[in-house]
């Protein structure tokens, strides 16, 4: 008997780190016969979306159909997809990002079973059929009558990391590809993750590159690399390092940088940003970049999904939230995001929202939120390259501090094998409809 599996997801992080390993495992367990099992992905709106999530989902060979986020509300409210998809009588709705209530509504309309992957919070216990949770703590406080619905599956983020390692293989050695010279293992590599949205890149690019210049002046052997977000092109990234296009370049005392793209040829001819002091920061465009990030001794990152990925990889990080201009910080979710981005009045709302946020700020980085303590340092305020650079140098001079952070990060994530266990839950729910 044929069936449909409908996956609900939203942002770039969920599509690359949750959807990818799950659809791979579903095909391994349920087979590749599209006449028997059809996998569809429907995306819901996300404030952190780049607009390319649908294209990323379409690139997965296991997926048969994809609907972009702009058509979501029509589907949720009226049950009609943009391409007027047909639906089989039997199926499962799998939640992998967005609002868990969407699973309830769509599952009821299609008369499908529902499976929710709950990383930190599980809701709508009476209306969802099964929950695959990352850690046992997610089920704490759940009424006993719903306990049978909960299964600990583990950490999907780790699955994405393992999937990339499998695809890249042992033959790939990213460090050897970073410069025109052959780099040996054990090199001191620092990852720079300034974000992917303009509101973060505006301050994040000049600040992190200025930090890199400061550290490199004291430790010339240290190398730097930017794993470029798949939703960001190199020219756009480079524009935020250009003083003619970004006023914050001068605000952070940064010398500016130019994009250098060599002719196609050997792996050594990778694009890079060359700063005014001559520092070359390599640009890594292969995604996901987990294999590369795993070899970084430290990363400089903004707040957001980057911190979750680095935490899952147990890579020490310094989380930066510069506040030189409160108006530039517009990367919020929900109503604050709508207000901060309104025409004409958005700037005023952005300043107010961010001022209120700074007055009541709690933990920002995902690893710290998970651990309920500051495992990795969070620096918030009018940050300057020298002060952050000195912290980086202290970590590099005392690697035992980095080892302590790495050990804590390893201890707070869930177990591996999540994709296989979640796929098993989906298979079990399909079996209940026979």
Lowest average pLDDT, out of 135-149, 197-211, 253-267, goes to 253-267
What does 87-102 look like in DSSP terms, one character per residue? --SSEEEEE-SS-HHH
| Homologous superfamily assigned to 170-412 | Glycogen Phosphorylase B; (3.40.50.2000)
Q: H helices then E strands: how many in the chain? A: 17, 15
Confidence of residue 358 (pLDDT cuts 50, 70, 90): low
Please tell me which residue, 11 or 192, carries the higher pLDDT value: 192
**Which of these, 94, 69, 82, 95, lies nearest to 11 by C-alpha position?**
69
Are 3-155+415-431 and 170-412 the same fold in CATH?
yes
- Say if residues 6 and 91 touch (Cβ distance below 8 Å): yes
* Mean pLDDT rounded to a whole number for the chain: 84
Rounded to whole angstroms, the Cα distance separating 156 from 367 reads 15
Rounded to whole angstroms, the Cα distance separating 99 from 82 reads 20
pLDDT digits (tens, 9 = 90+) for 17-46: 899 999 999 999 999 999 999 999 999 998
Q: For residue 423, what pLDDT is reported?
A: 96
Rounded to whole angstroms, the Cα distance separating 50 from 259 reads 22
**pLDDT over 90 percentage in the chain:** 58
Rounded to whole angstroms, the Cα distance separating 415 from 19 reads 18
Q: What residue spans define the domains of the chain?
A: 3-155+415-431, 170-412
Q: Which residues of 211-228 are buried (b: 16+ CB within 10 A; e: fewer)?
A: bbbbbbeeeeebbbbbbb
CATH topology of domain 3-155+415-431: Rossmann fold (3.40.50)
pLDDT digits (tens, 9 = 90+) for 309-321: 898 889 999 999 8
pLDDT digits (tens, 9 = 90+) for 113-158: 999 999 888 999 999 999 999 888 889 889 999 999 999 998 887 7
Say what the pTM is: 0.68
Q: For residue 333, what pLDDT is reported?
A: 45
Average pLDDT, integer, range 49-78:
92
Which CA distances in Å does 29 have to 4, 24, 337, 419?
Answer: 15, 9, 40, 11
* pLDDT of 398 above 60: yes
């Amino acid at each position: 008997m044929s069936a449909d599996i409908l996956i609900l997801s939203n942002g770039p992080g969920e599509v690359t780190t949750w959807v990818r390993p799950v659809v791979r495992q579903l095909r391994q367990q349920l087979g590749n016969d599209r006449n028997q099992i059809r996998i569809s992905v429907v995306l819901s709106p996300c404030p952190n979306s780049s607009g390319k999530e649908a294209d990323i989902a379409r690139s997965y060979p296991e997926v048969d159909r994809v609907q972009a986020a702009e058509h979501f509300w029509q589907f949720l409210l009226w049950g009609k997809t943009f391409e007027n998809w047909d639906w089989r009588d039997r199926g499962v709705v799998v939640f992998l990002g967005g609002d868990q209530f969407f699973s309830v509504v769509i599952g009821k309309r299609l008369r499908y079973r529902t499976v929710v992957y709950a990383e930190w919070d599980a809701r709508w216990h009476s209306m969802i059929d099964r929950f695959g949770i990352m850690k046992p703590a997610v089920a704490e406080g759940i009424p006993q009558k719903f306990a049978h619905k909960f299964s600990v599956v583990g950490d999907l983020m780790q699955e994405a990391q393992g999937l990339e390692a499998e695809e890249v293989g042992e033959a790939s050695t990213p460090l050897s590809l970073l410069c025109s010279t052959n780099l040996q293992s054990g090199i001191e590599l620092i990852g720079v993750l300034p974000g992917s949205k303009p509101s973060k890149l505006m301050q994040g690019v000049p600040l992190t590159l200025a930090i890199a210049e400061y550290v490199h002046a004291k430790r010339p052997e240290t190398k730097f690399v930017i794993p470029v977000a798949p939703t960001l092109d190199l020219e756009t990234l480079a524009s935020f390092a250009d003083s003619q296009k970004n006023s914050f370049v001068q605000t952070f005392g940064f010398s500016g940088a130019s994009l250098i793209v060599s002719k196609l040829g050997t792996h050594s001819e990778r694009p890079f940003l060359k700063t005014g002091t001559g520092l070359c920061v390599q640009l890594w465009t292969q995604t996901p970049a987990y294999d590369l990030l795993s070899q970084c001794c430290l990363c400089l990152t903004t707040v957001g999904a980057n911190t979750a990925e680095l935490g899952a990889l147990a890579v020490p990080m310094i989380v930066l939230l510069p506040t030189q201009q409160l108006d530039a910080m517009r990367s919020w979710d929900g109503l604050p995001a709508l207000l901060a981005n309104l025409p004409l009045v958005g700037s005023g709302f952005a300043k107010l929202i961010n001022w209120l946020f700074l007055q009541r700020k709690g933990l920002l980085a995902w690893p710290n939120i998970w651990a309920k303590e500051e495992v990795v340092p969070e620096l918030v305020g009018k940050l300057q390259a020298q002060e952050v650079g000195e912290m980086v140098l202290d970590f590099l001079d005392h690697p035992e501090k980095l080892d302590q952070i790495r050990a804590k990060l390893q201890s707070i994530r869930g177990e591996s094998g999540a994709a296989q266990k979640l796929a098993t839950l989906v298979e079990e729910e399909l079996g209940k409809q026979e």
